[in-house]
Structure 1
Amino acid sequence: MQKTLFKLTMGLGIMVLAAQQVHARNCAPRDEVIKRLIETYGETRQGMGIARQGAVMEVYASDQSGSWTVTVTLPDGMTCLVASGQAYENVAETLPPNV
């Protein structure tokens, strides 16, 4: 479990760093980004978490089309697109008995 948690934490940290690097190209005020995800792609928030340096990571997805988007909102209020794709599937896996 600690290895998985470490990997998730590192992954979120990398996403925050990536978002900060592309801040000028793939970022806009949060309300504009969310409005576009809803209106253009039919995506709604499916999950979220706190990342490094006070950033918020969110996963948006559409049950209809299967499209998905990962965003990071930085403390300055700008939301950056980090990744997107198709074939989103919501899963709730349980931990193996010996983990």
Structure 2
Amino acid sequence: MKKTLFKMTMGLGIMVLAAQQVQARNCAPREDVVKRLTETYGETRQGIGIARRGAVMEVYASDTSGSWTITVTMPDGMTCLIASGRSYEDMAEALPPNV
């Protein structure tokens, strides 16, 4: 259930980015966003990926509280908050064998 919820949240974040509906009120310079996630929520980067148009998607999470945040950083250095939540779990699942 938690894995499905996380995948749904990731999908939502990607759809929001693709539609370019990120609102400026949820954006700030990357260093400010990372500092706040670290100092206020104890979150560290857990994953990273490249999105369209040179944007970088990152997942931050706290091992202590389980809080998590998905951010997207645009080439101009502005980072926008896409989604956040709780009960983060780190998973490393093997791919199914080829049939």
Query: TM above 0.5, one fold?
Result: yes
Secondary structure, in 3 states, of the residue corresponding to 1:93? coil
Count how many residue pairs are aligned between Structure 1 and Structure 2: 89
TM-score, normalisation: structure 2 = 0.81
**Aligned Cα root-mean-square deviation (Å):** 1.9
> Which blocks of at least 5 consecutive residues in structure 1 are unaligned?
1-9
* Cα separation, 2, equivalents of 1:26 and 1:51: 18
Tell me the residue number matched to 2:15: 14
Matched letter for residue 48 of structure 1: I
Per-residue deviation, 1:24: 1.2
Q: Residue 34 of structure 1 aligns to a residue in which SS?
A: helix
Runs (4 or more) in structure 1 with deviation over 3 Å come to 10-13
Q: Tell me, which stretches of 5 or more residues in structure 2 are unaligned? A: 1-10
SS of the residue aligned with 2:24? coil
Alpha-carbon contact 2:54-2:75 (below 8 Å) kept: yes
What CA distance in whole angstroms lies between the structure 1 residues aligned with 2:27 and 2:47? 20
1:54 pairs with 2:54: yes
Q: Is the 8 A contact 2:67 2:88 kept in 1?
A: yes
